[in-house]
Structure 1
Amino acid sequence: MPTGVHIRDARQQLFDAAERVLLREGAHGLTSRAVTDEAGCAKGVLHRHFSDFDAFLVGLVLDRAARLEGESAALAGSAGTGTVADNLGNALTALFGPVPVAIIPLITFRDELRARLRAATPGGGIAILAQATTAISAYLAAERDLGRIAADADIDSLTLSLVGGGHLLFADRKPGPPGPEAVGRLVTAVVADAVRRRPAQGESSDTGRRRPTALGTELPRA
């Protein structure tokens, strides 16, 4: 293994190496030696950029959490388009991809990392889960404002159910991540009542016909 080599964009290369180790070996296999071996550099390279390994892990988690902003923006932009169920299903699949799901137990099992993340993110919550919660809550609120979710829908409870259920669904990745059908069943179970109790804005109130709903199904009119 080469040592002492110059690495361009060393921080990102180390983060990328840590991600590969984390996906391959899990949280318990992520050590400073494993990261630098994976990156093909001397162990001292990591410590030239970070005071200790927990400081490195804080940087890794915040960097990967920031990448979820793109998924959050996509979810926000989908409000009022397609169906609520499809939009939420796609968002859960993206927000709970392999990397975010692998990072969550890393935070859970390392007390020092969790403490440093709390200090670095005064808003509270567990990184990754906090980003997912914020994104889904904002989306549901936007759909409620558009009339595609009932005006009296409890956004906080819906968000908690979607984030908690989504995490549990995706955390068990053997033999692989859940398919669209499993994700769709979860989303439908959580939001069906809130969606069906109020038609999408702009839909006709005529009776005697079947109408598309924001959930993506058709319901007979009264």
Structure 2
Amino acid sequence: MPTGVAIRDVREQLFDAADRILLRDGPSALTSRAVTTEAGCAKGVLHRHFDDFDAFLAEFVLDRVERMSPQAAALRESAGAGTVVGNLADALTALFGSVAVAVVALVTFRDELRARLRRTWPAGVPVLTEACDMIAAYLAAERDLGRIAAEVDIDGLAPALIGSAHLLFADRTGTPPDAEAVRKVVTTVVGGVVRA
């Protein structure tokens, strides 16, 4: 006789539960019990699919990084359309308005998680380094189109944008910055290199 109800897409259900907990309560509230309770399943379900909780968290973080690919592609495709500042402000708002800020806090909060991530992600915080790559690819495309100065150091500009935006969005419990605040920061960072 079955002891429970079969769960479809267990990983996704558990990852979505982790998203909700991170966004609502922050990284200190993220425990295996909290995840399984939020997902509506028995605690053993998580341990049947992952070696331990840090293995779950490592896969969760990498899954959330992988989910950035469509956003990165959309940003690259926007090169040449709209304004550089507008495109960057929209992309940064979407990025940091998601679970990304909470994932950064989670990675810095858990030593074992960082150690596990280092096995496959040798440098940086996964969400932030992927975001830098996304912004750098977009800036390179705009530079190729002549909308950004040819001499711009994209490898320095992309992290400056990510860091500045992260500071705006870092307070998970506060009011998120409005669109004008994000545009102002983007304009300050890239204003000197954008061509009319």
Confirm or deny a common fold (TM above 0.5).
yes
Matched, 1:167 2:166: yes
Higher helix share: 2
Match of residue 8 from structure 2: 8
Q: Describe the SS at the equivalent of 1:175.
A: coil
How far apart, in 2, do the equivalents of 1:117 and 1:144 lie? 33
Per-residue deviation, 1:5: 3.2
How far apart, in 1, do the equivalents of 2:174 and 2:125 lie? 26
Matched, 1:18 2:25: no
What are structure 1's unaligned runs of at least 5 residues? 200-212, 214-222
Equivalent residues of 1:5, 1:42 under 8 A apart = no
Q: Which amino acid aligns with 1:87?
A: N
Question: Which 4+ runs in 1 deviate beyond 6 A?
Answer: none
Q: Which amino acid aligns with 1:39?
A: A
* Structure 2 CA distance for partners of 1:23 and 1:174, relative to 1, 3 Å: closer
Matched, 1:180 2:186: no
Query: How does the TM-score come out when normalised to structure 2?
Result: 0.94
Per-residue deviation, 1:90: 0.6
How far apart, in 1, do the equivalents of 2:30 and 2:173 lie? 20
Q: Describe the SS at the equivalent of 1:116.
A: helix
Per-residue deviation, 1:67: 0.9
Q: Describe the SS at the equivalent of 1:134.
A: helix
Query: How does the TM-score come out when normalised to structure 1?
Result: 0.84
How far apart, in 2, do the equivalents of 1:126 and 1:88 lie? 21
Per-residue deviation, 1:63: 1.0
How far apart, in 2, do the equivalents of 1:29 and 1:194 lie? 42
Match of residue 209 from structure 1: none
**Residues matched between the structures, number:** 194
Between structure 1 and structure 2, the one with the greater Rg is 1
Q: Which amino acid aligns with 2:10?
A: A
Matched, 1:101 2:105: no
RMSD, aligned α-carbons:
1.3
Per-residue deviation, 1:174: 4.0
Per-residue deviation, 1:9: 1.0
What are structure 2's unaligned runs of at least 5 residues? none
How far apart, in 2, do the equivalents of 1:160 and 1:13 lie? 32
Per-residue deviation, 1:4: 3.9
